[in-house]
Structure 1
């Protein structure tokens, strides 16, 4: 089964992002991004047999308990041309440190098929991705590049998400132990 690990946005932000995902579905038939809640990916999708999920949870629970909550700032939109449009996440040391520590912990464990990410970490909240046709990108980007959006939230959990064959669902959330 496919899994990934992320910071899932609070419901009020998820609802706003859902509004934009629905716009993309209605205007451009772009539906792929509707299959997951608004989130910032920390560990990209990986294959993990269902029987290893308890072992993953046993690893993530103490890892999360050692983390401190931190502020995540979302501001406006950006794109990975010509297929992805997203809410931009402002750079933050705490978010980068969390991703690095989580990746290191999982790679050291050696039980899970996690690959070290070669691309630079570019946190974002996806609105449209591979469901967006290249020829529709300019019109879609024209709409989003002129919108203003800004909000913050406190990241105080990480979530293990599982693909159920249709959509991504939260298998379990792991609360951080400390607040900054």
Structure 2
């Protein structure tokens, strides 16, 4: 089964992001981003056999319990041209440290099919991704560039999301030590 690890945004932010995802579906037939809750990916999708799910949970629970909650700021929109539009996450050391520590912990355990990420970490909340057609990008991007958006929330957990064949759902969440 495909899994990924993320910080899932609180419901009020998810509802706002969902409106933008529906806009993209209505105007540009983009559906892929609708298959997951609003989130910031920490570890991209990987195959995790059901037999290893308990081991993964046993690793993530103490990992998360050693972390402190921290604020996350969302501000306006950005893009990975010409296919992805997202809510921008302002850079912050706690988020970068969390990503690095999580990746290191998983790689050092040597029990899970996690690969070291080659690309630099660029935290974001996706509005539209691989099903946004290149020719539709300029019009969609023009729309989002005109919207001012600011929100913040406290990251208080990491979540393991699992693809059920249709959509991504939260399999488990692991709270930070507050």
Structure 1 length normalisation: TM-score? Answer: 0.98
Number of the residue aligned with 1:86 = 86
Displacement after TM superposition at 1:146 (Å): 1.1
Residue 105 of structure 2 corresponds to residue 105 of structure 1: yes
User: In structure 2, what is the Cα distance between the partners aligned to 1:119 and 1:131?
Assistant: 21
**SS of match in other structure, 2:15:** helix
Displacement after TM superposition at 1:101 (Å): 0.3
Structure 2 length normalisation: TM-score? Answer: 0.99
What does the per-residue CA deviation read over 1:101-140, in whole Å, with 9 as the maximum and x for residues that have no partner?
0000000000000000010000000000011111100000
Displacement after TM superposition at 1:174 (Å): 0.3
Matched length: 178
User: In structure 1, what is the Cα distance between the partners aligned to 2:146 and 2:83?
Assistant: 18
Number of the residue aligned with 2:43 = 43
Displacement after TM superposition at 1:19 (Å): 0.2
Runs (4+) of structure 1 exceeding 3 A deviation are none
5+ long unaligned stretches in structure 2: none
Number of the residue aligned with 2:175 = 175
5+ long unaligned stretches in structure 1: none
Residue 71 of structure 2 corresponds to residue 71 of structure 1: yes
**What RMSD, in angstroms, separates the aligned Cα atoms of the two structures?**
0.4
Displacement after TM superposition at 1:144 (Å): 0.2
Number of the residue aligned with 2:156 = 156
Number of the residue aligned with 1:27 = 27
**SS of match in other structure, 1:37:** coil
User: In structure 2, what is the Cα distance between the partners aligned to 1:171 and 1:109?
Assistant: 21
**SS of match in other structure, 2:154:** strand
User: In structure 1, what is the Cα distance between the partners aligned to 2:142 and 2:54?
Assistant: 45
User: In structure 2, what is the Cα distance between the partners aligned to 1:87 and 1:118?
Assistant: 22
